[in-house]
Amino acid sequence: MKKLLLLTTILLSFAYSHECKYTLEINLDTEKGLLQGRSIIESDHPSMKLLDTKANITGVKNAKLTVNENTPYLIKEDVNSPLEMTFSHNFQAINSDAILLESWYPKIDVLCKYETIISNSKITTVVEATKVTDDGTSKHFIFENPIESLHLVASKNYVVNFKTTKDAMELSTYLYPNDANLSNTYIQRSEKYFNLYKNIFGFIPFTKFSVVETPFPAGYSMPTYTLIGKQIINKDFVLDNSLGHEIAHQWFGGYVYSPDQGNWVEGMTTFYSDYLYAKQNSKAAEYRKDILIKYNSFVNQNNETALIEFTHKNKESKNAIGYGKATFFFYMLEKKIGEDAFNRGVKKLLQMYTYKTASYKNLREIFEEASGEKLLDFFITWVYNKGALDVKIDNINLMFLKDKYILEFDTVGSIQLGNLPISVCSDDECLYTTIDISKKSQRLELDIEPTKIVVDESYDIFRKLDEREVPPVISKIIQDNTLVVVDKDDEKKFSKIMFAYKNFKYADEITFDEIKNNNILIFGAKNSFLKKFALNFKMEGEGKIEVFKNPLNSLNVIAVFDVEQISNTFLYKLKHLGKYSTVVIKDGVIVEKTTKESLNGITYKINSGSFAQKPKRQKLGDTFKEIVDNKVVFIGEMHTEFSSHLNQLKIIKAMYKNNPKLSIGMEMFQKPFQKYLDAFISGTISEKEMLKNTEYFQRWKYDYELYRPIMLFAKEKNIPVIALNIDRAITKVVVSEGLDALSDIQRVQVPSSIDFSNEKYKEQLKSIYSMHQSKSFKSFEEFYHAQLLWDESMAMNISEYMKKNPDYNMAVLAGNGHVMYGYGIPSRMERRGIVDYAITLNMTNSEAGIADYILSSSPVGTQKAKKLGVYLESNEKLNVINIVENSSAAKAGIKVGDTIVSLNGVLLKDKYSLQAELAFLDGSGNVVLLRDSKEINVKIEFSN
């Protein structure tokens, strides 16, 4: 048995070196869906593997059919005599058409010359053929060179038209009557494409080529003809791209073959068709970026494979690899060895492997010979290994030495690529260069002051995209693992297309974790889901789809789709619109298709540059008339600078003078404690009681003395103070566990709508996070979600108060970061209908559009909060663990190890109650300590 297996293996390895002629005699009945045939195989090969077939073999002559390890073989009895088989095949006719593409006859693992004899002359038939003859009773389709397999199309409905070109090539069309008017256009375009490729490759492989219409959506190329589905045959993209792609296959796939595994043909064909056409239209870089976007959309660590593993396209991920990455590979190869060497290599490939199979190894050898370069490492990186380059720049440092800017940074790449293209830009110009990323540290000497580094902005390297480079596009949601969200009332309307997706949820049941971890497709322009994220979807035409970045995970998307009349072909159409963000349909025609903006290249900002302004200096009082006329005035603050708060008080007084119906909204207080602010303003509780009951010292870390003049003025004038901020307990849950972890009671307090769409605000917050907040939050995402929750909550609380009290104006006191550029609270308040407002900021740095007014003032002091000068074990335990030198505590004799019990007779339970008592201590006070289990009284004194 081992000897037999070895012999079989040796014989099969030489299968392609033997001559073979395969004759097929066929009788076809398209009404019954029945094909009956006889195979006659003339070959000196003693054995052949019988490949998978759906044909029913009814007889075999001059051979025995054996099975070895579940594989059928034909072992010839007489090597010098033909092998014969009779067979039948039942097929499903489509409108009385026969479309036989796979496994319809007994196929063998040998390249053969074919002669197909069709005896039914009533049916118009198309088969691979370089020569066609008619003997009166049957038609003979002869393919005079070795070919892998045959495909057969037959119909009684075809209208046939043909033309002989000046190169003596016969171009023909087989179209259905309704589309016969397209014949001349297809013939003219075909001739144009063949002329294009003749100029590139130097020859045309066949003297015949046909465009054949099919009853189902198709785009296939076989030697000497192509199939195009009736659903798309009148579309511009077919004539402009797809037809040329299928004609390029006449050279790659029809003239030179690739192995089943390691199929390079699709990449080379796309390189010489779709990519070439984009290049001719000055859109080559855009096309390469689109390849990377599709790779980003469909390929992940679970389905990623190497080019050497690609066989054929059966999923979008396979398409992104076998077509997209392979096209990019040939682009990079051309760039590496030069266009002339690449062209010589392609022509050599077509000469050496005419009607033969060429592997990636063969391609490498040919291009090495054409270029004189060793390409093994290049092929290992991009063909035999999977993945894309993942590159990042870190530790950017800028210096100025000896009249030069010195830019230093580190690079980290997942592939030892070598040269990486970058541009270094100032405000006025960009310098283009390459860096060797096999080295970590980079150093550039520059004559310009750089403001940014941009990596690979022309998309010369097959790499992973930065999230800012990826627009939200339709291709992200045509995968079957997309999560569909529908309102229960709309379920019936969208039932025709919902079946295509594995997962769907009702809008009122979906969780935030599900939103974060999935690409989402929302059915219905009025879907209740849209309110959660303030997605700005506006219905247009009779049908529209628009894709947004997923606000909880920028690597995913949320798409919104609605249409008046649901079509079964909706999903098929989407596959051809994958690179767009928005598509609008009117009167059955696409009237708009656009892709949302995204960055080109991975962009890193450099902290550099000098700025000048020519300010118009005014006294604050001179601006009051303009400021106070607004319904809401945002007065941004630097929390720790009293001059900020003094400016706030001045504007509040001016607003009160203009309209005594004034309210003051304050970030510093949280909504659950509103009743205590009301009680303080009305005089029913004291200032100290208000601070204790609002938990001011627990929830706001800044000195109360900074805000006290404002609070006292509000009390004096009976001005309502409105707690704007959300309960900190809610924020803590959202930050640590997510919105889904909120209780029903907490959920009611959270804004029903959160807007994540402002990318500029997100970038601004990243800077704030890196400078000030990285220690307070586990990640930027935590900080970002908390910030938006604060902004939305405060905007909601302002809007609710103003709508309930339409006669009132409001001064809003909040940190500068919440109001600058209008990104934080103001735009979210405006979304809720309050549009009459002004923004003032207390800051020194001013930029265009940052505010309506920039306030600056000389430093002014005020009374500071009284501090004992002790370090406590914790906020809850008043055990002294350290004492500040020369502090009031040190002077009073308080020692490490003491426990503070009371101040002026008031028992203290924690640090916050101590702060409240100290805030209203007048000069001195009596402190009771517990020392060595004994109570001790000491006197604490503060200077005025």
CB distance 307 to 319 below 8 Å: no
Computed over every residue of the chain, the mean pLDDT equals: 90
User: What single-letter DSSP state applies at residue 92?
Assistant: -
The 10s digit of each residue's pLDDT in 32-72 is 999 999 999 999 889 999 998 999 999 999 999 999 888 99
Which element (helix H / strand E) includes 57? Answer: strand 56-61
Distances in Å between the Cα of 411 and the Cα atoms of 51, 465, 835 are: 51, 16, 47
What backbone torsions phi and psi does residue 576 show, to the nearest 5 degrees? -90, 0
Is 15's pLDDT higher than 70? no
Instruction: State the Cα–Cα distance between residues 722 and 667, nearest whole angstrom.
Output: 9
CB distance 254 to 206 below 8 Å: yes
In the chain, which segments carry CATH 1.10.390.10?
164-255, 264-384
Residue 498, pLDDT score: 79
Residue 772, pLDDT score: 62
pLDDT band at 13 (very low <50, low <70, confident <90, very high): very low
The 10s digit of each residue's pLDDT in 849-869 is 899 988 887 787 788 888 999
CB distance 205 to 254 below 8 Å: yes
Is 516's pLDDT higher than 60? yes
Instruction: State the Cα–Cα distance between residues 569 and 216, nearest whole angstrom.
Output: 12
Q: Which of 367-381, 508-522, 764-778 has the highest mean pLDDT?
A: 367-381
Choose between 813 and 18: higher pLDDT.
813
pLDDT band at 417 (very low <50, low <70, confident <90, very high): confident
Helices 780-804 and 759-768 pack at an angle, to 10 degrees, of: 120
Which are the contacts of 884, defined by CB distance < 8 A and separation ≥ 6?
A: 869, 870, 871, 890
Is 8's pLDDT higher than 60? no
Choose between 550 and 569: higher pLDDT.
550
Strand blocks (E) in 550-685: 557-563, 582-586, 589-594, 602-605, 632-637, 662-670
Return the structure tokens found at 184: 């001349």
- Dihedral (Cα; 227, 351, 49, 9), 10-degree rounding: -150
Is 17's pLDDT higher than 70? no
User: What single-letter DSSP state applies at residue 295?
Assistant: H
Instruction: State the Cα–Cα distance between residues 181 and 14, nearest whole angstrom.
Output: 49
Choose between 22 and 608: higher pLDDT.
22
Which are the contacts of 833, defined by CB distance < 8 A and separation ≥ 6?
A: 799, 803
DSSP track, 831-893:
HTT---EEEEEE-S---TTS-SEEE-------PPPP---EEES-SS--BEEEE-TTSHHHHHT
Strands 131-134 and 47-49: unpaired
pLDDT band at 7 (very low <50, low <70, confident <90, very high): very low
What backbone torsions phi and psi does residue 271 show, to the nearest 5 degrees? -60, -40
Burial bucket for residue 111 (CB in 10 Å: 0-12, 13-18, 19+): buried
Superfamily designation of domain 17-156: tricorn interacting facor f3 domain (2.60.40.1730)
**Mean pLDDT of the 438-448 span:** 93
CB distance 836 to 631 below 8 Å: yes
Provide the CA 424 distance to its chain's centre, in angstroms: 26
Which element (helix H / strand E) includes 940? Answer: strand 934-941
Which element (helix H / strand E) includes 717? Answer: helix 708-717
Is 9's pLDDT higher than 60? no
The 8 Å CB, 24+ separation contacts for 687-692 are 687/711, 687/712, 687/715, 687/920, 688/916, 688/917, 688/919, 688/920, 691/916, 691/919, 692/912, 692/913, 692/916
Class assignment of domain 391-455? mainly beta
**Mean pLDDT of the 351-363 span:** 97
Class assignment of domain 870-941? mainly beta
The 10s digit of each residue's pLDDT in 558-604 is 999 998 887 766 666 777 888 899 999 888 888 999 999 999 999 99
Residue 16, pLDDT score: 41
The 10s digit of each residue's pLDDT in 479-501 is 767 999 999 998 888 887 877 78
Residue 393, pLDDT score: 93
Architecture of domain 620-855: 3-Layer(aba) Sandwich (3.40)
Strand blocks (E) in 740-855: 809-815, 837-842, 853-855
Q: How far apart are the first and last CA of the chain?
A: 107
Is 1's pLDDT higher than 60? no
Q: What number of other Cβ atoms are within 10 A of residue 570's Cβ?
A: 17
Is 184's pLDDT higher than 90? yes
In the chain, which segments carry CATH 2.30.42.10?
870-941
Minimal CA–CA distance to 97: which of 203, 173, 162, 174? 174
State whether residue 688 is helix, strand or coil.
helix
CA atoms within 13 A on the CB side of 903: 25
Residue with structure tokens 């069709």? 118
Give the CATH number of domain 264-384; options: 1.10.390.10, 3.30.360.10, 1.10.760.10, 3.40.50.720: 1.10.390.10
pLDDT band at 243 (very low <50, low <70, confident <90, very high): very high
Instruction: State the Cα–Cα distance between residues 894 and 878, nearest whole angstrom.
Output: 12
Residue with structure tokens 């003997």? 135
Architecture of domain 164-255: Orthogonal Bundle (1.10)
Return the structure tokens found at 559: 């798409």
Is 879's pLDDT higher than 90? yes
Minimal CA–CA distance to 789: which of 757, 756, 761, 764? 756
Largest interatomic CA distance in the chain: 126
Residue 664, pLDDT score: 97
pLDDT band at 763 (very low <50, low <70, confident <90, very high): confident
Return the structure tokens found at 623: 């601006």
What backbone torsions phi and psi does residue 735 show, to the nearest 5 degrees? -65, -45
The 10s digit of each residue's pLDDT in 883-895 is 999 999 899 999 9
pLDDT band at 10 (very low <50, low <70, confident <90, very high): very low
**Mean pLDDT of the 771-797 span:** 84
What backbone torsions phi and psi does residue 928 show, to the nearest 5 degrees? -95, 125
Which are the contacts of 14, defined by CB distance < 8 A and separation ≥ 6?
A: none
In the chain, which segments carry CATH 3.40.50.11550?
620-855
In the chain, which segments carry CATH 2.60.40.1730?
17-156
